[in-house]
Amino acid sequence: MSSTSTNHTPSNVSPAAQKNMKLMAAGAAVLAIGFHGYLLKSHYDLRYGEATGQLLCDLSAKLSCSATSASTWSELLGVPMALWGLLANLAYLTFAGWDLVTESENRDANRTSLLSVATVLALASVVMGGVSVVALNTVCPFCVVTYVLSVFTAVGAFLGYRQGLTPKLKMSLLWAVLGFGISAFILNDQFRTSYSTRGGDAMAKAAVSEWSQNPTIEIAETDPLAIGPSRADAKMTIVEFADFRCIHCKLAAPPLKAFTAAHPDVRLEFYSWPLDGECNTSIQQPNGASCLLARTVWCARTKGDKGWEAHQAVFERFEEWRTAEKIRELLPSLAGQIGIPAEDLKSCADSAEAKAAVEAQAQLGTSLSLRGTPAIFVNGRVLPAGSSIPVLNAVHKAIKEAK
């Protein structure tokens, strides 16, 4: 008596259609790996202080990959979701490749593993999509792309491989899946140690301990550039003093903004503390450039409601601000970039009003005995390593637990 073939194809699904579905699933997995790779690199850059500007998928306050990456939902068991997704898609492609060369007696087991991975990918995408809608204050556009691609992979896999399948499990394939899972932890550790701020968890614990012991200082609200709720409504208020010609301030900007965007109960206040004796009495040597940039950003906010756009643009063009004369030469292009009439920005930047505002912020920083930039306070206490996402998440957690 002959056995029924496990490769029987239902009459309503042609072999050509199955082949196309397999190709679609593989193509979606390859694309997903590319997107996950970009998100993974961006995640580490942001969390460990090497992000240098806006991501391709930072489209607005509500559509931001950076903000999503700064949230606690961006990792599972300490491993970035992007790495889990990358390895899951790689596992799918591995099983799909094996299907081309495996013997017929092993094909059912291989396809069972392949479809299981595709199912996990699709279910995880649905769950993470739900988290984005319910728990987060923002949506990651590239994450959404990976969710859609996972659905395409799952649909293509089931239409391409499910016909005539007798589900089977083999321990060797289960060990292969386990190997991909273990590799996530190994790779994560390797990636993290490749960044300059190693031992993020230990650093965060030490920073929270030091922060909790620092004295609370009253910081008068002095016309800051701010995002988030009011001080009265915010559970966590981050106050940053920075100089626009300070490279460490440039590196601090992306994680601070991303963390604030990811947490609706956090307020971020930015104050200029120019390392320039022209407007800051704490600095002996005047250069004119830092004070002029501070006034320019203040004017962009007060005259055109473009403060954060100017803040980002100035840091992005960090290398251009050599001297005050060069800044004046480039002000028209900066004004055009942020959408403010050039003459309005130029006249405001030289006004007595702008000078008084920047000097007031510089004096505020001086009254707090600042010694350099960036200087970061959280709820009135100095926070060491305050631009680190792990540190900020740890402090946020400590504040919530203390309530």
Instruction: Examine residue 305 and state whether it is found in any structural domain, yes or no.
Output: yes
Q: Same domain for 255 and 383?
A: yes
Helix pair angle (81-101, 104-134), 10° resolution: 160
Report the CATH number at residue 171: 1.20.1440.130
The Cα–Cα gap between 108 and 170 comes to 10
Q: Same domain for 286 and 332?
A: yes
Instruction: Examine residue 10 and state whether it is found in any structural domain, yes or no.
Output: no
Q: Same domain for 86 and 135?
A: yes
Q: Same domain for 205 and 255?
A: yes
Instruction: Examine residue 9 and state whether it is found in any structural domain, yes or no.
Output: no
Which pair of structure tokens corresponds to residue 347? 């006249």
Q: Same domain for 326 and 386?
A: yes
How many structural domains is the chain composed of? 2
Instruction: Examine residue 212 and state whether it is found in any structural domain, yes or no.
Output: yes
Q: Which residues contact 390 (CB under 8 A, 6 or more apart)?
A: 47, 200, 201, 203, 204
pLDDT in single tens digits along all 403 residues of the chain:
333 344 444 446 688 999 999 999 999 999 999 999 999 999 998 888 777 777 889 888 788 999 899 888 999 999 999 999 999 999 999 999 999 988 788 889 999 999 999 999 999 999 999 888 888 878 899 999 999 999 999 999 999 998 888 888 888 777 888 898 899 999 998 888 877 554 556 778 899 999 999 999 999 999 999 999 999 999 999 999 999 999 999 999 999 999 999 999 999 999 999 999 999 999 999 999 999 999 999 999 998 899 999 999 999 999 999 999 999 999 999 999 999 999 999 999 999 999 999 999 999 999 999 999 999 999 999 999 999 998 999 999 999 998 7
Q: Which of 167, 193, 219 is the last residue of a domain?
A: 193
328: containing domain: 200-402
Q: Same domain for 169 and 189?
A: yes
Instruction: Examine residue 4 and state whether it is found in any structural domain, yes or no.
Output: no
Q: Which of 170, 193, 216 is the last residue of a domain?
A: 193
Q: Same domain for 176 and 255?
A: no
The Cα–Cα gap between 58 and 65 comes to 6
Q: Same domain for 106 and 247?
A: no
Q: Same domain for 246 and 141?
A: no
Instruction: Examine residue 88 and state whether it is found in any structural domain, yes or no.
Output: yes
Q: Same domain for 385 and 246?
A: yes
Instruction: Examine residue 6 and state whether it is found in any structural domain, yes or no.
Output: no
Q: Residue 329: helix, strand or coil by DSSP?
A: helix
Q: Which residues contact 277 (CB under 8 A, 6 or more apart)?
A: 283, 284, 285, 286, 287
